[in-house]
Amino acid sequence: MDLRTHDAYDAQDGCGAAGHPARRAFATEAVHAGREDLAAQGLHAAPLDLSTTYPSFDSRGEAARLDAFAADGAELTGMPVYARLGNPTVARFETALARLEGTESAVAFASGMAALSAVLLARNALGLRHVVAVRPLYGCSDHLLTAGLLGSEVTWVDPAGVADALRPDTGLVLVESPANPTLAEIDLRAVAHACGSVPLLVDNTFATPVLQRPAGQGARLVLHSATKYLGGHGDVMGGVVACDEELARRLRQVRFATGGVLHPLAGYLLLRGLSTLPVRVRAASATAAELARRLAADPRVARVHYPRIGGAMIAFEVHGDPHAVIAGVRLITPAVSLGSVDTLIQHPASISHRIVDATDRRDAGVSDRLLRLSVGLEDVEDLWADLEGALGAGRAGGGTRPKEAARR
């Protein structure tokens, strides 16, 4: 696993960010993107603007600006108007994330599910209600599509079946790679080619732009549950879609109409989280790779899933009782979510993917003995000692059958 992925790249590639150096290391971008104007203002830390409304003495001018936004969804220039239309602190986070993902724009929302909902609503508004999707996805994403809660119709396919599933009313192809929770990986370039003119949305929550930039592989939309690695400390909720400006304009209009805005404090924390994103992801990934190796050698573990791209997520199936393993941890926290500085473990079939039909869940590789581990920044020996004790607690009914390879 090469943890130096994307250390250097063209900061202007696809971003339209004129005036920035032709090449800057990814770590430098993570620290400085969205903050370049601060020194000229006599500031060091980004300001937090909590205003919900702003003074406006030119009502004719405001009417013209609002008419323009209603027509094309372009970002408002000049002074802000109302927090549902945009916020300066949130805009800094959006600018930074777009630069890290290599897209023209990014639009932030109150959660990852709010972000996905906005994409579906934007496509539905054009009469493009059909979605082609590949399992597994995050359980709530799966449920949103399957239940048709926003009027969408979904066709589930293997990656090789994307092209054949497209219809005249297909508005989106949706994949997650590495996937939640099995960490299955998809050839994004091949899927993007199969999509033709239909936009490909890649959920990049697990990989982050540190390990993978889907826009460079043909995706038009890149989704993040910003609650996870982008925030990184388990104390902020948000979602964001990085995309081209044409799609971003539609998403801003949906956000304004539905009110799924990101709170400014969340925008501030997410911008701060980006500055340490490369350090956190690389450190946690190194620990995860070592834990995956040890789990693969443990006779109490039936199978380990760890992606070729690397990362800080591990999924593993046990011979014994997975619920006893959950109950047996002491240092590791048994909890949903992921991407925090502390290590979390959960049983997807009981929690994150419980909402998915049991047969669909198992067909997607989410077995009842699968556990998902989000590795944090603790010392690897302390984490392994905790896992060993928990695996011992779950050993009842287990065996010593040979396991499959650790990498998929």
What lies within 8 Å, CB to CB, of 89 at 6+ separation is 46, 47, 48, 49, 264, 267, 268, 271
Categorise residue 330: left if φ over 0, alpha if ψ from -120 to 50, beta otherwise. alpha
Query: Is there a contact between 240 and 97 (Cβ–Cβ < 8 Å)?
Result: yes
Query: Is there a contact between 202 and 133 (Cβ–Cβ < 8 Å)?
Result: no
Torsion angle defined by CA atoms of residues 329, 140, 119 and 263, in that order, rounded to the nearest 10 degrees: -50
> 84 an active-site residue?
yes
**What stretch of H or E contains 318?**
strand 313-318
Structure tokens at 322: 């997975």
Q: Please count the other Cβ atoms lying within 10 Å of the Cβ belonging to residue 43.
A: 11
Query: Is there a contact between 198 and 166 (Cβ–Cβ < 8 Å)?
Result: yes
Which residues in 200-255 belong to E strands, given as ranges? 200-203, 221-225, 239-243
Q: Are strands 344-346 and 333-334 parallel, antiparallel or unpaired?
A: parallel
Angle between helices 88-101 and 264-296 (to 10 degrees): 40
Q: Please count the other Cβ atoms lying within 10 Å of the Cβ belonging to residue 77.
A: 7
> 213 an active-site residue?
no
63 vs 12: CA distance, rounded Å: 34
Set 99, 123, 142, 203: catalytic member: 203
Set 24, 35, 65, 138: catalytic member: 138
Q: What is the DSSP string of 87-116?
A: -HHHHHHHHHHHHHHT-SEEEEESSHHHHH
CA proximity to 348, closest of 372, 326, 329, 332: 372
Categorise residue 291: left if φ over 0, alpha if ψ from -120 to 50, beta otherwise. alpha
Query: Is there a contact between 145 and 174 (Cβ–Cβ < 8 Å)?
Result: yes
Set 35, 228, 300, 361: catalytic member: 228
Active site residues: 84, 138, 203, 228
